[in-house]
Amino acid sequence: MWYVVIAGAGWPPRSGGGCEADRQAGRIRPFLSRAASVSPNPEQLLGAVTGPRTTSLGDWIMTHSELFVGIDIAKDELVLYFHPTGDMRRIANSRTGLATLGKQLVRLGRDHILRIGFEASGGYERALAILLDRLELEAYLLDPARVRSFGRAERRLAKTDPLDASQIARCLAALHPQLTRHVHDPKAVQLAEHVRLRDLAIAQAVQMGNQLESIADRAVRKLIAAQVARLRALALRIEKAIAVLIAASPDLARRERLLRSAPGVGPIVAACLLARMPELGRLSSRQAAALVGVAPFDRQSGNTTRPARCQGGRPTVRRALYLAALSIARTGKSHLASIGKRLKNAGKPNKLALVAIMRKLIITLNAMIKNDTPFHAE
């Protein structure tokens, strides 16, 4: 049953009965006698409650054949939520805690189909990913933005570690047929770190270089120019280290050779694709285009139809493909360039022509790796 406090001068008085006395005293009166159809805890609809219950380590007794495990990762702790049973467990993010977790998950995996989801957490997830890969458990690395969107669709506004874990589990349960299983590759992780550091060095060099024109003091300009030179030298050293890393891995070297056989794809673009889009070769054409953000999506409602729009995707990969598309359009030596020329001859904007080249390029690269065949000019 709900209760409401009746108070304030704006409440219209009624003659007779106890309503006016109740208003004056601010007393609590029963409200909505037929409250059985209304949730007794409306905050739960908005995710404001603390979340799932906690079970002890020895009480992991599950009755469902298929379990989705959401893991919220912090520096010192892992919070696990089991869907659809609603059980929750906290584990230390340490060597001992992960060893205990591995034993429990293997035990559960004997009687249940386990699907485990987690998000990237600035490197704190690495030990967990290694453990799940070593135990050959079915694991998925979820996009945090996608999980947040899923939570907003459920009208969850609160944010706690247990709620985050439950949100990951439910998101995985709903979307796992569309997701690609995560496979931990130490070489790929090392490559991604190098690519990220190289991009950071280049971004800082560009940012500082842009300040030179607005600095009047010659001494300061000299300091900035020296720092820009150091950052660019650092980027060159990282690029050499990236080449060594790729050459040391037969799989990475094979995929890089395939990628670089395509026009517009040099060592930087190839390294970006290997590090930022490791799923390449395991996707459909539309999935590959959508992950980059060059797949057009229809916009129609009733009798109104708007032009399709490309949006979303991975910005670092999209920037790399944009540079590749510019190179293709300028040289004009492949059938990919003819796509852009045909659109520009039809009066389409130059940007649309470049996006079309990017879309065809990423679809072609995905097919090349999937079929293990180099680029063939048509």
Span 104-147, pLDDT tens digits:
999 988 888 899 999 988 778 888 988 998 898 999 988 888 88
pLDDT tens-place string over residues 147-179 = 888 888 888 888 889 999 999 999 999 988 888
Q: Distance between CA 127 and CA 361 in Å, rounded?
A: 35
Instruction: Encode burial over 180-204: b for 16+ CB neighbours within 10 A, e otherwise.
Output: eebebbeebebbbebbeebbebbeb
63 and 29 in a common domain: no
34 and 151 in a common domain: no
CA atoms within 13 A of residue 181's CA, in its CB half-sphere: 9
Distance, C-alpha 50 to centroid of its chain: 25
340 and 290 in a common domain: yes
Mean residue pLDDT of the chain comes to: 81
pLDDT tens-place string over residues 340-360 = 889 888 888 888 899 999 999
172 and 80 in a common domain: yes
Positive/negative CA dihedral, 195, 197, 198, 202: positive
Domain-located, residue 78: yes
What is the biggest distance separating any 2 CA atoms in the chain, rounded to whole angstroms? 92
Domain-located, residue 352: yes
Q: Distance between CA 161 and CA 33 in Å, rounded?
A: 36
173 and 62 in a common domain: yes
99 and 64 in a common domain: yes
**In the predicted model, is pLDDT for residue 204 greater than 80?**
yes
Domain-located, residue 248: no
65 and 169 in a common domain: yes
- Averaged pLDDT for residues 215-229: 91
Please report, in angstroms and rounded to a whole number, the separation of the first and last CA atoms in the chain: 73
Which residues, in sequence order, are bridge partners of residue 87? 53, 82
Domain-located, residue 17: yes
Q: Distance between CA 245 and CA 238 in Å, rounded?
A: 10
Give the other-Cβ count within 10 Å of 164's Cβ: 25
The three-class DSSP label of residue 5 is: strand
Among 156, 178, 200, which residue terminates a domain?
Answer: 178
Domain around 10: 2-41
Report whether 130 contacts 83 (CB < 8 A): no
Among 178, 197, 227, which residue terminates a domain?
Answer: 178
pLDDT of residue 64: 57
Domain-located, residue 220: no
Q: What is the CATH number of the domain that holds 111?
A: 3.30.420
79 and 164 in a common domain: yes
59 and 173 in a common domain: yes
Domain-located, residue 241: no
* Residue keyed to tokens 């520096």: 75
pLDDT of residue 378: 62
Domain-located, residue 195: no
Domain-located, residue 186: no
137 and 26 in a common domain: no
126 and 25 in a common domain: no
Report whether 283 contacts 291 (CB < 8 A): yes
Spatial CA neighbour of 339 closest among 370, 373, 363: 363
**5: confidence class by pLDDT, cuts 50, 70, 90:** very low
**Number of compact structural domains in the chain:** 3
In Å, what is the CA distance from 377 to each residue of 259, 262, 374?
14, 9, 10
**In the predicted model, is pLDDT for residue 291 greater than 70?**
yes
pTM of the predicted model as reported, rounded to 2 decimal places? 0.69
Among 128, 161, 178, which residue terminates a domain?
Answer: 178
107 and 153 in a common domain: yes
Instruction: Encode burial over 10-42: b for 16+ CB neighbours within 10 A, e otherwise.
Output: eeeeeeeeeeeebbeeeeeeeeeeeeeeeeeee
